[in-house]
Structure 1
Amino acid sequence: MGPTTEPPAFIKVPATTNHSATFILIHGLGDSGSGMQSLASALQSDSLGHCQFILPHAPTRAVTANGGRPMPSWFNILSFNPPREDDEVGMLATFASIDQLIANEIESGIHPSRIVIGGFSQGGTMSLLTGLISSHHLGGVAVLSGRLPLKDKDGKYPKLKELVSPHATSVPIFWGHGSADTMISYSMGRFSADLLTSEIGVPTAPNTEEAKGLTFKTYNGMGHSVGPQEIKDLGVWLKKVLPA
């Protein structure tokens, strides 16, 4: 019997009404769960009182692209520019710990279809990986300024394709990206989203009324951040995948 995977430490923002859904909201590089509290509060106050928010903290690790200095990070980054191959071992270890958070919510009585995972930057990338390869069929995935995970040294994604779950193509995905993002470029975000549809098989959302398939939103002039319109759009999408 192998070692038990431990979930990361986290902040819990309880539902303000009857708890019937959970959003696991994951921070970016160098941040902590505390940095996502204002976003969680903004979303919860907008007709999502039935939703509990789980805000995990990344462990501190040496980040090669940061000169090897330790910082909160979900996986190692070899280089920001030019981008290098992904830290497969680190990403999959983080996936296992986040998937344990999901399992804990399910054990507490929340159905997988009532659980959404999302995050910003590194957190968005890990949310996407989790939604695509978890054995749990989640209610949705939100990617804010993220990218496709598990890139190899040739710029391909064979490991991701190998691990994708049978139900991955039916999980709704919200993707928001700023056109002026210099950390994870808009072109990388758009490329990642296009590959989701062309090679993973995630369908494009058929219309704006339903939260099915991939909904990709461009925010003109926005950098590597989360903007007010994006928060509003995310809230609208969340109310469709996690109705009260």
Structure 2
Amino acid sequence: MNRPLHLFLFHGLGADGDDLAPISDLITERVPLTDHHWAVHRPDAPVSPVSLNGGMPMPSWFDLIADNGSIDVDRDSLAGITADLQQEIADQVGDDPYILGGFSQGGVLAARLALTLPRPPIAAIMLSTWLAAPEQIAKPTDGRNPAVFIGHGTHDPLVPVHAAGKLNAFLTDCGLTNVTERHYPVEHGILPEELDDISNWLRESLSP
């Protein structure tokens, strides 16, 4: 039996793993594999108080706090969940290839994990997200260069579209040269056109 190609997708604040089912369904339907089979993982974030929302408990990968009119992350909770997911992913994939993806909060994790996991992914998808706590990220020195897709809405009121450019610049500074950044006329969400672009990009990225 051929080996799995793992696809990990991390959802945004207040959602759950099923929120990203349209992405995983589209990828597994439209991106055929010859030497592997798809193994999809859409984990649920733990339920914890979110300072930005008055301490209301909800599914959240890490805490968000207000900082002089902007949104910042709690460094300790972000570092903690990153370490937990590093171990979980390593345990699940073993030596198999894998792909990371995430929306908003989940995209923060996809970016961090793509740069910090001991064995890098072959590709990463980062949607409507931002570069959080870059001082915690040691720039990789192993020559890793996964294909990256950054998608962002031009009308996003929660994470302004310029966040995509900042993330792209940081990834480039980390040595990643195969980064695709695309913008879409949407707020904090994903358009069908974006899903089409993701599946086409991934199919091309996985082709020999």
**Following the alignment from structure 2 to structure 1, what is the Cα–Cα distance between the partners of residues 78 and 143?**
18
Question: Are 1:201 and 2:175 an aligned pair?
Answer: yes
Q: Deviations over 1:140-174 (max 9, x none)?
A: 11101111121xxxxxx3322xx232236512211
Q: Assess if the C-alpha contact under 8 Å between 2:7 and 2:40 holds in 1.
A: yes
Cα contact 2:101–2:107 (8 A) shared by 1: yes
Q: Count matched residues.
A: 205
The equivalent residue for 1:58 is 45
Amino acid at match of 1:36: L
Code of the aligned partner of 1:73: S
* 2:190 maps to 1:226: yes
Alignment counterpart, residue 83 of structure 1, candidates 67, 70, 80: 70
Of 19, 23, 32, the match for 2:7: 23
> Cα offset for 1:84?
4.2
Task: State the partner residue of 2:80.
Answer: 93
| Matches for 1:49-198 after TM superposition, within 5 Å | 50-79=37-66, 82-107=69-94, 110=96, 114-150=97-133, 157-160=134-137, 163-167=138-142, 170-197=145-172
Q: Distance in 1 between matches of 2:180 and 2:164?
A: 13
Paired AA for residue 174 in structure 2: I
Aligned counterparts of 1:149 and 1:180: Cα–Cα separation in 2: 20
Q: Aligned partners of 2:47 and 2:116: how far apart in 1?
A: 24
Identity rate, percent:
27
Cα distance change, pair 217–87 in 1 and its aligned pair in 2 (3 A): same
Distance 1:99 1:48, change over 3 A: farther
Residue aligned with 1:175, SS: strand
Give the root-mean-square deviation of aligned CA atoms.
2.2
Residue 21 (structure 2) aligns with: 37
Q: After TM superposition, where is structure 1 displaced by more than 6 Å over at least 4 residues in a row? A: none
**Structure 1: runs of 5+ lacking an equivalent:** 1-16, 151-156, 204-212
Give unmatched runs, 5+ long, in structure 2: none
1:179-235: CA deviation from partner (whole Å, max 9, x where unpaired) = 1111111022222222332x43332xxxxxxxxx1111111x211111111111111
